[in-house]
Structure 1
């Protein structure tokens, strides 16, 4: 100060064909030489920024301050106040260098509030002992003007003189209204709001327990319970066993709104269902799941069953691979180039031997042996990948892998990892790769990562397929997979019905089932004859011939100790047993645990 006049400044009078009393310009002036300003590309500079591009924002800022102080000002009044409060720097009155003078933000804002009244007050939560209630909307109904209460619950508005309806609203509170609130010029009217809390606590992040083979327990459940305005009165865990009555446990507060509680251990074949309940001191109650007790979290305590466990170190017997689509290639093979198994040396690879790149136009399918789907079945495996992605469009890939499942010999369907696929296919060559445009896939380049799949929606005899597809251009090292595990739980086969063949055979459920050590297989014959009782794995391969020979009518029993015909222990899992005699046959399932 005093601010210099820019060399580019256009002084009056104007050359326009207007009456002489309108030739004076400008109307007001603002700082516009070497103004400290933000600049294109980021950052700020002091020197070299001049002209109306610098002066104009000063005037706009003053207008914004005036409207913030008094939102009811019309445009003409804003302009009049800016001109009348300007600091006259030249000859008295309006002239062709400074107009009415240099803008004055402080005086303009004071003038904007002249002749207006002020409405102010505090919003509190009466349900929580009168604590401040921030974020409440205060509305002037007649003008539809609104403001929000601040962190301390305070609010303020400038209003023209008159009578108003003032309403306070917030989703967590019952609304409150004042009618005929009188606002007088240059005076302050006070209206406080004491609101009643009607919003329940928010429950999030509740532990969704997986089924377990742990009968000792306890089974810990954690959850987050918060309330924006009122204190938490209690947080509880309700649980029931096998559909019985609910039992209630208090949840212990931790930190950051977290609470924890422990369901005691339960025996095998137990179904545990549970939900969380919480209330604030205003008796507003919330539950999680939101529809509880009609909807519940649940898990089973049951023997764990490993249906498939493959570390590739023994060459993966029973696994097969081939091209999934005629005209496309297959490069799956057991590789020693990379390995994830601790102490191991092998993994499956789709690509050339060693570190060589994969070929063009692959649709290589690696298929597991079949296995029986049981309760809460999960698939996990580790993978390492280097596959071609789009350099232009992030998230799109030209080559990649997917996982599919087939149930009871039916069609293959793609399944998604719980972590999600990281890319989608973009077809970019002719001929294209085997996957349709937009297919979610695994691609890109990264080291060993674990993926998890929930197979709980499926039932029956299943096979998995790991499929790697490439287009006609570009190549990288390929896709490795290792340590493939399918694990689930068998809830209860003990209540399975007896199996009968008309007039000849009666097969009782295995007892115990599931079993650890040995189980009894009982059956009744109605007539003498050749009898064969055989055990099979889910792939249909014979494991053990328990009975083979002629037997008399009556009750019989065979014992299976979890070994095959060569007395070798078999892997835990689901096994099929089949009884044949006199041209009739019946079968059942038994689960071996470890």
Structure 2
């Protein structure tokens, strides 16, 4: 039976070490109880297999040592385990016919780097994730990203290994503005004595992209800023990158089976965006293709479907938001449904269509696309593509090949706040600038900035002291221009 006997093992990588025995480790589980486990190995080119009993180290963990080998040796091996009822399992499954293989030799080959280049960035959700698959027969020692902003070099940033995606990732720790030009390249090095290094795209070229205004995601660079997961125990998440049906380009995100295959019964999953800065009256738009089960008996009701949710606290709490025109269906009561009865949702069969949401909050938010299915009929699923968040309050114009703010404006985050609030002011031209805090009667209670400011975004923090909670006004003023935003201070 499935999972009656299991072996979890990370294959040995090639090595330059000729002095140390080579330890094979595995997690072996048995329902009935394990009788024995061995490692079988041989030297490539020889016919004889040598068998080494594995020792139980802790719990289900077992190990054995292959003797140290001279340089120039290639070793093949597999693991064999047997329970007390003579059931057995082999890893890899083909055993001696297709064993694990590694070499003992001086490494001269650099790692291989696979990367989908970033094609855009934006100020609303900075920074994008740089993701790469890096492989080497001797193991990857580490990786970093070299980068420049407008041809000014910054210190490299180390990449971290992502065990879920099985690759290396990093984000740019710098601040940027609209119109900035980013250049970067990835460096990977192996674990060998030679410290072999690889570059992507090369040691003397860069990946280049511009920083824009609006948040845009077409999933053509891998969608690594997104994560997906189930919100219900024992209900699988089926979100994945898809090429079988797209609105534009080569990729979309789909909840459902591979290609045009249907989603499964009793499934639930959310596709979550990164944090995106929004201001009141911004819009979230995307294109969807929907094919989900509706009721043939209860008009206007669905058994399966999708909804959009928003979080204003980094993802701790979520609430459903409503598109322009509303959702076309309600979830019919079903005790195994991931959704509550009468939840408004998208469902039925709909070809690609543009969906629009008006945003009524200020600050950083996350959105997520939530699909759920009950335990009966299934259909093709839900596709999402070409997501865009348009930031209306930050209006830029192109001036001498450089984007600059078109008007004086203020954004506040978080709002309401109870400790400190970030005040971001778009400054359309160099000059004198004042930023003040006023009470609701117009009296100045604090002065945040009074001086010369350059064109761009001025970011400040206000931490009120000895001021009661209440409604205040943040006022930015230059010669002839004033921008005001309400602040809600709570304790």
TM-score when scaled to structure 1? 0.33
More helix per residue: 1 or 2? Answer: 1
More strand per residue: 1 or 2? Answer: 2
Task: Say which one has the larger Rg.
Answer: 1
